[in-house]
Structure 1
Amino acid sequence: MSEPESDGVGRATVGDPAASERERRAAPDGHDPADLHPVADPEAEPDALVAGIAAIAVIRDERGRVLLVQQTRGPFAGSWLLPGGRAGDDESAGHALVREIREETGLTMEDVTYVAGYRTSGGGYDLTVLMYRGPASGTLVAERGSDARWFDPAAIPDRHPALRRQLFDAAVGRDDERAIDAALAAAEIRMDRLA
């Protein structure tokens, strides 16, 4: 599979797999998130801080519902969050996004637009999270042992504070930014927006 690349306006499309590692990992503002967050080896140190780059997606269906997956492990186990996950050591955020969406939901994404980025810490994680939006095709099939569902934005159960921030920034549904900030603080989660 070839790597997604930017078309210069914040959209990623399938492109040249020979792009340099720095170009492939670069965030839309040109910085390399790996410079800020070296990836820890959680296998080497079981209690180590999990750090790195992750990509998530806002995917909506024709009825305006948003796709969420239920986390099965980690500090947010049981929470409904946007699909996506961590990039591997030699993987761009765009490639990780396409792979994670396929693994978690069975859906395929080919054309995505950058929405926002965050430096996120809390619950043993220190990640640069890049959020995209775009259409997905295929049949929704949740990863084994997990769940993936379409939700009306106003009817999402037990909205996790990070999900609230992400949906607010993606202009999905309505929320109060001060209430989001208070919920993040209460959960001891820090989400700094990237410039």
Structure 2
Amino acid sequence: MTESERVVPCVGALTYDQVGRLLLVRRANEPGRGLWSLPGGRVEEGEDDAAALVREMAEETGLVVEPGALVGRVRRGAYDIADYHCRVLGGRLRAGDDALDARWCDAPTLAQLPLVPELWETLREWAALPR
């Protein structure tokens, strides 16, 4: 397999607060540096999706989560991203190592943010937009 054919398994978290706002992070690294996205990242060797979600959420947001059901999958270049619902168990929201910022977003806020390509459309297709 050539480098251009390599698929990178990734996970993303759809996490909502008690009033239906969606958790987003502003990416510190490429792809999408400076843009807002779902928290998540690469699945490391030896991890399953749930373990990767727990690790990535702690690193990027400071939150402890319990992964839930698969919402959907997207392919963005070499990245094959499985997006799951996550429930917050604890922690304190903060921007971590791969995030410039982290915040809960309602629908009007989400509509004003510079998002990674296709995020709005994908969330709409999955009926996963915040309130």
Q: Partner amino acid for 1:155?
A: T
Structure 2 counterpart of 1:112: 68
> How many Å apart are 1:50 and its aligned residue?
7.1
Q: Which has the higher contact order (CA 8 A, sep 6+)?
A: 2
**Is the 2:67–2:84 contact (alpha carbons within 8 Å) kept by the matching residues of 1?**
no
**CA separation of 1:49/1:80 partners in 2, compared to 1, >3 Å: closer, same or farther?**
farther
1:49-87 deviation line (CA, Å, top 9, x unaligned): 874100001101011111000101113100000001001
How does the TM-score come out when normalised to structure 1? 0.57
Q: Between Structure 1 and Structure 2, how many residues are aligned?
A: 126
Identical residues among aligned pairs (%)? 34
Larger Rg: 1
2:104 paired with 1:150: yes
**Is the 2:26–2:101 contact (alpha carbons within 8 Å) kept by the matching residues of 1?**
yes
Structure 1 counterpart of 2:93: 140
Structure 2, unaligned stretches of length 5 or more? none
2:31 paired with 1:79: no
- Alpha-carbon distance between aligned partners in 2 of 1:58 and 1:95, rounded to the nearest angstrom: 15
2:22 paired with 1:66: yes
Structure 1, unaligned stretches of length 5 or more? 1-37, 41-47, 175-195
How does the TM-score come out when normalised to structure 2? 0.83
**CA separation of 1:143/1:50 partners in 2, compared to 1, >3 Å: closer, same or farther?**
farther
Structure 2 counterpart of 1:159: 115
1:22-56 deviation line (CA, Å, top 9, x unaligned): xxxxxxxxxxxxxxxx7x6xxxxxxx787410000
> How many Å apart are 1:137 and its aligned residue?
2.6
- Alpha-carbon distance between aligned partners in 2 of 1:100 and 1:49, rounded to the nearest angstrom: 25
Higher strand share goes to which structure?
Answer: 2
> How many Å apart are 1:109 and its aligned residue?
1.4
Structure 2 counterpart of 1:30: none
- Alpha-carbon distance between aligned partners in 2 of 1:170 and 1:106, rounded to the nearest angstrom: 26
**Is the 1:116–1:131 contact (alpha carbons within 8 Å) kept by the matching residues of 2?**
yes
RMSD: 2.4
Q: Partner amino acid for 1:87?
A: V
**Is the 1:153–1:172 contact (alpha carbons within 8 Å) kept by the matching residues of 2?**
no
1:87-135 deviation line (CA, Å, top 9, x unaligned): 11222122111110111111111241111012221xxxx0211011131
Equivalent residue of 2:64, what SS? coil
> How many Å apart are 1:165 and its aligned residue?
3.2
Pick the aligned partner of 2:80 from 101, 119, 128: 128
